Each structure stands twice: as structure tokens, then as C-alpha cells.
Amino acid sequence: MEKPLSPRESGQFVAERSRDVFVDEDGVKRVVQMIYELRESEEFTASGWKKMNPLAPSPDSDEAINWVFVTDTMNFSFWPEREEQQCEVVCRGNTYRGYMSLCAAVTRAMDEGVPITSPSYFSQMSEAELARVLRSDSGTPMPMLRERHQALTQAGRVLLERGGSFRMFIGHCENDAEKMVKYIVENIPSYRDEAMYEGKRISFYKRAQILVADFWGIMEARGEGHIPNLDFLTMFADYRVPQGLVYLGALRYSDALMETLKNGELLSSGERREVEIRACSIWCVERIRQHLWKLVEERDGKSCHINSALIDFYLWPYAKKHHREMAHIPIHHTRCIYY
């Protein structure tokens, strides 16, 4: 079987053929200007990682690396069937929803003495034990418990076969971002985020790329973050960042797709419109990065340090923060293990 295109190649391939999702170059340039004004802020540094997620353990310990592996392995599909029916997790006096409810659940389990970040434990934990860890403090349980259990136990067994920890596992990759993504995808099936489009095998690798980016964020905070080709990473194709890109005018949906999404129709994983939304989001952020690098070189006379992963780290919380202003733009919903 032919190898899939890389996420970046996939983004360009789909964007050049897309029927319902389009990258708007004028909108891209407006976003570039917005990011350019913030280019020296801490929002565009790896040290912003810990600020983004106060529930994570201190990056000084390997426990942070273990924590990241567990949360990233189960980091998918948090959207509620109804907005008023959200899974909520209370941890250290605060209530969390969405992805943060997972982070809260894992940290709460650690506070309760559950060895949830140990591969020897989570590789063989029962579904009932994971249900206890991920228990909701509202009437709505966290969705896809069975799939999360399968992904976590399977990944744990892989770690035990290859060194016993994520640090040892990723140590095979010589601090090379591209090798890291490929090694994760080749060895842990739940990270194999691929699809077919116009007869071509393409890839997104959303969770695998986030795992590498999070690992980098921790190592950077420890002063050990030298991963020379981190620019290999693209944005992490999910459902919130595309909404933000549409709101900012950098991405555009056809009237037919907009109508479909406003009607609440679910898109299945791998279907054409869902693939176009994710792939065009990748290419949109690539165009933002390309224009930004050119602008920084022209105006500042130096190369730009802001890569696609850092742009995503800015856009995701931006979309979350401005969710009320962009409520008129529908989020696409796909129930799957990839995002």
C-alpha cells in the first residue's frame, strides 16, 4: 500500500481540489497581521504550554511526560449531544468541561492515589476502573468510554514493549519531530489518523502531532527542548480551530456546507466534507505561517520562530475565548477517536 501524504502535503492536495471549503488569501493576510502584532508575546512561546494547562504536573518531573501521554491518548470527541448536557469534572475546587474535563479527571485520579500515569497500570486497567477515573460530576458521562479504554490500554501495552515509558519510547527518535510523529503512528494504532480523498491516501495525525508538540513544550520548559525540525508539525486538525478560521475570514465554507452544519447534521469520519474541513484548515494555517515568515523577514530583517504548532496553540484558545461571538458559525461534529 502506498504511503499516505504527510499532513502538510495532504492539506495542499485537498485544498487544491476542495468543493466545499476554501482558503481565503485576503483573510489569511488579516490573520497574519493580527499575529504579527503579537509575535513577541508569551502566547507564541513553548513556555505558554504550562499556562494553557494549569492541571498538568510540573514540567520538571517525568510525571508531566507520563500525564501528557495519557491525556493525549484519550484526547478526542468531547462535544456534547446538547449544549446544556455537558460532562463536567470537578478538580481542586474548579469545574471543567470539554478537553479540560479529561485533564481534570486524570489529575483528580492522581490526587486520589490512582497510578493512572503508569503504563504498567493503565495497560491492564479494566473499563470499570477507567470509568471511575473519568466519572462525571454532572448527569452527563464522558462520551466514548469504551474507545478511550481501548486506546489507552493498547497504547500502554506498546509502551511496555518498547522501553516501559513514553520517554523511553520516544527516545528511539533522535529528537526529530518527523521521526517522532511517524514512530507514534506506526506503533500505536489509535493515532493512525488517515483518510482517502480523490483516490489518494492522506493523513492528519492530529493527536500524534499534539503529543510531539506537548512533549516539546515540557522539554522546552526544562531547558531541554532542542527539536531542530519542529517546523515539520502542522496545525492540529480538529473542530474548534476551523470555526475560528472561518470567523476570522481565513477559511470559507460553501453555502451548502454551512446549511448542512447549521442543521446539525453529523459528518462521518473520512467523508469528503469532513476531510475538506480538516485538510483545508491545515493548509490555511500553512499559508498563515508562510505569509508571517515573509512579513517578519521583510519588516524585522530576521527569521520568524513562530511555526504552525504555535499558531494552533494561539488559535485554539482564541476560538474558545470568543465562542460567544462566533456562535453563528457552526462547528462540524464527527464522533471518532482522532479528534
Cβ atoms of residues 276 and 18 within 8 Å: yes
Inside any domain, residue 339: no
Inside any domain, residue 1: no
Tell me which residues are annotated as active site: 238
Give residue 313's pLDDT.
87
CA distance 81 to 66: 31
Q: How many domains does the chain have?
A: 1
Inside any domain, residue 178: yes
Q: How far lies 145's CA from each of 82, 101, 201, in Å?
A: 18, 13, 29
Inside any domain, residue 330: no
Question: What integer is the mean pLDDT of 149-153?
Answer: 98
Cβ atoms of residues 53 and 103 within 8 Å: yes
Cβ atoms of residues 143 and 74 within 8 Å: no
Inside any domain, residue 180: yes
Give residue 44's pLDDT.
82
Give residue 220's pLDDT.
84
Question: What integer is the mean pLDDT of 255-271?
Answer: 97
User: Strands 89-91 and 21-23, how do they pair?
Assistant: unpaired
| Cell numbers given for 322 | 470568543
Inside any domain, residue 55: yes
pTM given for the model: 0.94
167: pLDDT confidence band, cut at 50, 70 and 90? Answer: very high
Question: What integer is the mean pLDDT of 266-271?
Answer: 97
Residues 204-235: tens digit of each pLDDT: 999 999 999 999 888 888 888 788 889 999 99
The alpha carbons of the chain give a radius of gyration, in whole angstroms, of: 19
Say which residue the cell 513556555 belongs to. 47
Give residue 16's pLDDT.
98
- Which residues pair with residue 21 across a beta bridge? 253
**Could you tell me the residue range of the domain that residue 219 belongs to?**
7-322
pLDDT reading at 288 higher than 90: yes
Residues 31-80: tens digit of each pLDDT: 999 999 999 888 787 665 555 678 999 888 889 999 999 999 999 999 99
Inside any domain, residue 328: no
Inside any domain, residue 337: no
